Homo-oligomer: A and B are copies of this chain.
Amino acid sequence: MSQSRMPSLELVQDSKVLLQKGYRVTSYDVAKRAGVSQSAVSRCFKPGASVSKKMRDRVMKAVAEMGYQPNAIARSLITRRSNLVGVILSDFTSLHYPEVLFELNHGFSNRGVHILLFTLHRERDVDEIIEQVFQYQVDGVVVAATLLPEQIDRFEERNLPLVFFNRTIQDRSVSAVCCDQAAGERLLVNALVNAGHKTFGVISGPEDSLVSVQRTAGARDRLSELGFDNVPILQGDYSYDSGQQGARELVDRFKGQLDAIICANDVMAIGCMDTLRKEFSLEIPDDISVVGFDGITPAIWSGYDLTTIRQPVKQMSEAAVDMVMDRVDNPDKVPEMRVFSGNMQNGSSARIL
C-alpha cells in the first residue's frame, strides 16, 4: 500500500516534479527527496523551531520543487486546533449581515483563521447546525441568531468559545458584542423632539427579536420621558413590505397629523419612505420625517438619504473576533459583553436642526 507511492512521482529534466493527477505530496515525500527525516520537514513549517540554515534550505528546495503544502486537516487532528470558526447567521438577506460577515472574515483571516459558514433557513435546523459545527471541531463560534438555553449549554459543556453578535440572552451570562440599541433610539428621539416633532409612530421589528424589542423600548421610553406618551407601536418584521404596511396604517390612523415615523431598521424605513411618497404624495421631510436603524448601504443613496443610527460594524466585528480568539487561547475567561454606541447619521429623511 505504501509502495504505491513510488510510481506516482516522476522526475523530469528541470528538477521539477510532475505529479500524478490528484496525488498529494506529503511531508514524507519531501523528506525522502531532501534526504532528511520527516520530522525535520515538519519543523521547517513550525515558526520558531530550531532548524539549521543548511537543513532549512535543503528542505525548502524540495518543498518548492514538489509544490508541497502542509495538510491543515492532519495538523488539526494532532494539535487539536482547526483554525476554523463557525459563523451562524439568520436572516442573511437583510442587507446588514452580509456586511458583518465580510468584516468578520476580514478579522479572522488576519489571524490565520477561516470561516465555516452556516445560515439558518428555518429556525428549526439550529440543532442540526450546532451538531455540524461540533463535528468540524471549530475553535469557536460567532452567532447572530437566537439560541435556546439548552443550545448554549451544549457549547459550555464542550467549553467551546461562543460569542453572540447583537443578541443578548436574558438571565444568562454569555459573551456578546452589541450595539447599544436603546441609546441609539434615544439619540434619534432627542433630535426629532428638539426639532419640534410632536406626533410619532413607531414600527417595530419581529417580537422575538430582542434587538427589536430594545430599539422599540428605547424609543418609547425616551419619548415618554419627554412627555410623549401612548405613542402607537406597530408590529413589523424588518421587511420592506412591513415598512410599507406600517406607513399605511399610521397615516390612516393620524389623518395627516403625523410628524415622524421611527422604524426599527433601515429596510422598513425605506419601505416607509417609498409608500409615504408614492401612495400619499407626502414630502419627506417637509410633511413627515422618517428614521431608521443600522446604516445599511442604501440608506446613504440620495434617493433616501436616511437619518439613522449606523452600527459600527467594523469595530463590532473586530471585537467579536478578539473575543473568540481570546477565549480560544484562554479557555477559563469568564463571559464578557462589549457594547458599542451607534453613530447618528444625519440625512435628509428627517427634519432635524
Contact = CB atoms under 8 A, between A and B. Distances in A.
A67 B135 CA distance: 12
A106 interface: yes
Copies in the complex: 2
Contacts of A301: 240, 270-271, 274
A273 B303 contact: yes
Interface in A115-159: 115-119, 121, 131-132, 134-137, 157-159
Given A72-B135, A119-B105, A136-B72, A22 B158 contact: yes
Interface residues of A, number: 58
Contacts of A117: 101, 105, 114-117
Interface string A273-288: 1110110000000000
A8 interface: no
A52 interface: no
Nearest to A304: B303
B116 A21 contact: no
A134 B132 CA distance: 22
Given A22-B158, A84-B116, 13 more contacts: A19-B157, A69-B135, A70-B135, A93-B98, A95-B297, A102-B119, A115-B116, A240-B301, A270-B303, A274-B301, A275-B302, A277-B303, A278-B302
